[in-house]
Amino acid sequence: MSQPTQRQAWRRTDDHTKGTPKVKLVTEDLPLPLHPTFVLIKVHAVALNYRDANIANGGNPWPVTPNGIPGNDAAGTGGVSTFALKLARASGLRVILTSSSDEKLEQIKKQFGKPEIQTVNYKTHPEWHKEVLRLTNGVGVDLIVENGGSSSLVQSMECTRRGGIVSQVGYLGGPKSEHLKEFVSTIIDRRLNVRGINAGSKDDQDELMAAISATQMTFEDILDSTWSFDKADEAIAYVWQGKQVGKVIVKLDD
């Protein structure tokens, strides 16, 4: 393969005004010559996450690289939740899934079949944690994958069993400190382990790959849609609107 001298990339405009483009396609010169220890990799496709759309729309809670490339910054709906669902099912766990869309919940239930996934619509059940407690006979769940952030964290804690684990992976609800008034009393009362989840270690990755291999897990059922590179801006808007159920893929080659 001949060494390229330029690349195309979608960069954020950092213009967060409603209705303005959030990314733009640019052509850039590559820093040449490449260092002798550099490795040139041909990437087939990338996955868009909510964080990419959130950063592009100015919703990220911490600083990022100005005019960065989506997918390169920070480290949190659809893809994280459905991947966690796959792992839980492969481990033989009973799953209770929450969403604001009955349509999405029904789609997931039909897609994954038996044993049936129990679901709660947190939009029609504002006190959704009480519904989770009802489904678990008042005990609560062993483990919660929490991606709402401060707006839903305490409710997640309240429906976790005593001594259980809350894994915080996202902040979809934005920074709302007023929702955290009961945090300290709840974590003490329920003796919870609340932990932040970011990128794992190499050992974590090795264990994940071993689990996927042992269970012969496939992922076609958690792919929402595939977009061509020239429509990456539309894909980001699609994710921002919350239309996806699963991972959104952008192909980088033909």
87-106, pLDDT tens digit by residue?
Answer: 898 888 999 999 888 998 99
Which of the listed CATH numbers 3.40.50.720, 2.30.30.140, 3.90.420.10, 3.30.420.40 matches domain 79-196? 3.40.50.720
Contact 30, 6 (CB under 8 A): yes
Q: Does the predicted model carry a pTM greater than 0.75? A: no
The CATH 3.40.50.720 portion of the chain extends over 79-196
Q: Are 84 and 145 in contact (CB under 8 A)?
A: yes
Interval 1-45: pLDDT, tens: 677 888 899 999 999 888 899 999 999 998 888 888 888 888 899
Nearest-Å Rg of the Cα atoms of the chain is 20
Q: Write down the CATH superfamily of domain 6-75+221-251.
A: Medium-chain alcohol dehydrogenases, catalytic domain (3.90.180.10)
β 45-48/247-251 pair status:
antiparallel
Decide: helix, strand or coil at residue 242.
coil
The neighbouring-strand residues paired with 166 are 144, 194
Local structure of 127: helix, strand or coil? coil
